[in-house]
């Protein structure tokens, strides 16, 4: 896996060579609703993700993941939700979560939950690249987020020696 110089403090980009071809993994931590200048910051971060996707989508499978601080399923969407939904629609991004209504975030007051952690890919790149699940409230998790994990169906390759290797 190679880290890219693309991205910022809120977005990290890695490239992975696999038996199915190159994969670009974009990991984002987008600004939360209620932060100073949140809407402008949120849009600025989405613009950055757009630039990265545009740069690599022709030659690489795109996986965008992280704490988006925006929901694709909330019934009464807030501003971040609306911005994220519009961004996903305009860029043909789809959530890979099997349990689309499963919360990934639990507010500290215990009164609210939402699904704001996502793993997404371009709609036309979707088939069989990921097996995505939410680890729903395991006993050892004392944080406010549940782990969302994915498994690539392709094996990583070592391009230097043209060998397949496993990642645990």
The confidence score (pLDDT) of residue 166 equals 46
CB within 8 Å of 120: residues ≥ 6 apart: 63, 64, 65, 88, 93, 94, 95, 96
Q: Looking at the whole model, is its pTM more than 0.85?
A: no
The DSSP secondary structure of 115-164, one letter per residue, reads --EEEEEEGGG-TTSEEEEEE---TT--SSB-EEEEEESSPBEETTTTEE
- Partnered with residue 6 across adjacent β-strands are none
Walk along the chain (168 residues) and give the pLDDT tens digit of each residue: 666 667 777 899 999 888 888 999 999 988 887 666 677 888 999 999 999 999 999 999 999 988 888 888 888 888 988 999 999 999 999 887 755 667 665 566 667 666 667 788 888 875 555 666 666 666 666 666 666 767 777 777 866 545 554 443
pLDDT in the model for residue 157: 81
């Amino acid at each position: 896996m190679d880290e890219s110089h693309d991205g910022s403090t809120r977005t990290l980009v890695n490239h992975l060579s696999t038996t199915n071809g190159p994969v670009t993994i974009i990991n984002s931590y987008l600004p939360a609703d209620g932060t100073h200048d949140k809407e402008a910051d949120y849009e600025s971060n989405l613009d950055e993700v757009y630039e990265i996707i545009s740069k690599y989508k022709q030659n690489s499978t795109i996986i965008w993941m992280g704490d988006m601080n925006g929901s694709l399923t909330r019934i009464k969407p807030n501003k971040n939700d609306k911005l994220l939904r519009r961004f996903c629609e305009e860029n043909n991004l789809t959530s890979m979560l099997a349990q689309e209504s499963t919360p990934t975030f639990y507010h500290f007051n215990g009164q609210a939950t939402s699904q704001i952690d996502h793993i997404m890919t371009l709609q036309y790149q979707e088939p069989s690249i990921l097996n995505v699940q939410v680890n729903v409230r395991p006993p050892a998790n004392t944080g406010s987020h549940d782990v969302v994990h994915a498994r690539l169906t392709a094996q990583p390759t070592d391009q230097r020696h043209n060998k397949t290797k496993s990642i645990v």
